[in-house]
A and B are shown apart, each in its own frame.
Chain A
Amino acid sequence: MSKILAPNTAAPEFKLYVTADQSLSLSELKGKPVIIAFYPADWSPVCGDQMALLNAVLPEFRKFKAELLGISVDSVWSHDAFAKDRNLHFPLLADFEPKGKIAKQYGAYREHEGCCERALFVIDKNGIITWSYLSPVAENPGADGILEALEALPQ
């Protein structure tokens, strides 16, 4: 398993495509807590459940003014189809070219399989990682850890 970035580390900056002509950078979200969910792939059954669950908990995340981002190595076109199929209401970012570049910086890349780990990060409004969790790849880590991490942020 990878060694993911630990709390009290500055979250590496990134700028990734969300759609074919729209990109999003972490620094654009400064001032708000950010939740990053790295996941192995669109369409694989466990991811589907994980993303569906995170999607359902979105209203609760918003109470903390937190932004949720999903990141995998899939392309924007795959993300688009996946998000539409599952009615996801948060951005999926494509760590597609160079493949896995951002996941590697977070220690959340599986070299052998060429996909992201299933790893969660909570980043505070100043861009510092306050909580991170690496889940067994086949296991949906739920959302309780994220909520506890958001609660622990100074208001």
Chain B
Amino acid sequence: MLKVPVSSDDHIQGNTNAPITLVEYGDYECPYCGMAYPIVKQIQKHFGERLRFVFRNFPIPESHPHAGIAAMTAEFAATKDQFWQMHDLLYENQDNLELSALIDYATSLNLSGKELQTAIENETFVKKIEDDFMGGVRSGVNGTPSFFINGQRFNHSFEYENILAAITNASA
């Protein structure tokens, strides 16, 4: 069960009042999350206005050394209303999440690389990311990606057909 309800603090893509909510706990450097990324896009396309997608941070920096700064970069972009653009850029460039690359991605979205660097150095977004992480732990997230469909944990492997079937069942 999802212990932290979706709120305005979340990054929400799609129709805010959609009957279906898909929440992902993800890590930008996790290869499985990278594999799930295009699948989520397909699911969003299939359900259209009927689904809203929420992404929450679940970085494991001791396994993925760039996961923390990548999450901070996405949170930084969110303050400039460009969270999803950055989220997509990060997943499309998972093999290059060095600080210099993150600054380039920021610049490509017309964001200030310098401001990003300051935010990373000042740990501006650390608490938000830790809160996401601990909320996930409390909800039983045990690794990434973990999905919740209308608050219920999705326990199968994340192939398109499986997620599609689970959402279809949940919304029937």
- Partner-B contacts on A (CB < 8 A): 48-50, 52-53, 55-57, 60, 86-89, 140-144, 147
Our pick among A49, A87, A144 for the contact of B143 (Cβ within 8 Å) is A49
Q: In terms of DSSP, what is the predominant structure of the interface of chain A? A: helix
Residue of A nearest to B137 (CB): A143
Q: List 16 A-B contacts (CB under 8 A).
A: A49-B142, A50-B142, A53-B60, A53-B142, A55-B62, A56-B60, A56-B61, A56-B62, A57-B134, A60-B137, A88-B62, A89-B62, A142-B142, A143-B142, A144-B138, A144-B139
Whether the Cβ atoms of A57 and B62 lie closer than 8 Å is no
Whether the Cβ atoms of B62 and A53 lie closer than 8 Å is no
Q: In terms of DSSP, what is the predominant structure of the interface of chain B? A: loop
Shortest beta-carbon distance from A122 to chain B in Å: 15
Q: 19 additional contacts, CB 8 Å, given A88-B62, A89-B62? A: A49-B142, A49-B143, A50-B142, A52-B60, A52-B62, A53-B60, A53-B137, A56-B61, A57-B137, A60-B134, A86-B62, A86-B63, A87-B62, A141-B142, A142-B140, A143-B142, A144-B139, A144-B140, A147-B138
Specify which chain B residues have a CB less than 8 angstroms from the CB of A147 in the assembled complex: 137-138
Asked if B12 is at the interface of the complex by the 8 Å CB criterion, the answer is no
B residues contacting the other copy or chain, number (CB 8 A): 13
Residue of A nearest to B155 (CB): A139
Our pick among B60, B134, B137 for the contact of A142 (Cβ within 8 Å) is B137
Ranked nearest first, the 3 interchain pairs of A and B with the lowest CB-CB distance are A142-B142, A87-B62, A140-B142
**Cα(A142)–Cα(B61), bound, Å:** 17
Q: B residues 57-109 with Cβ under 8 Å of A?
A: 60-63
Residue of B nearest to A88 (CB): B62
Specify which chain A residues have a CB less than 8 angstroms from the CB of B61 in the assembled complex: 56
B117-144 interface bits toward A, Cβ cutoff 8 Å, 1 = contact, 0 = none? 0000000000000000110011111110
**Cα(A141)–Cα(B62), bound, Å:** 19
Specify which chain B residues have a CB less than 8 angstroms from the CB of A144 in the assembled complex: 137-140
Shortest beta-carbon distance from B121 to chain A in Å: 21
Specify which chain A residues have a CB less than 8 angstroms from the CB of B137 in the assembled complex: 53, 57, 60, 142-144, 147
Specify which chain A residues have a CB less than 8 angstroms from the CB of B63 in the assembled complex: 48, 52, 86-87
**Cα(A141)–Cα(B137), bound, Å:** 11
Shortest beta-carbon distance from B66 to chain A in Å: 14
Specify which chain B residues have a CB less than 8 angstroms from the CB of A52 in the assembled complex: 60, 62-63
Residue of A nearest to B65 (CB): A87
Shortest beta-carbon distance from B168 to chain A in Å: 25
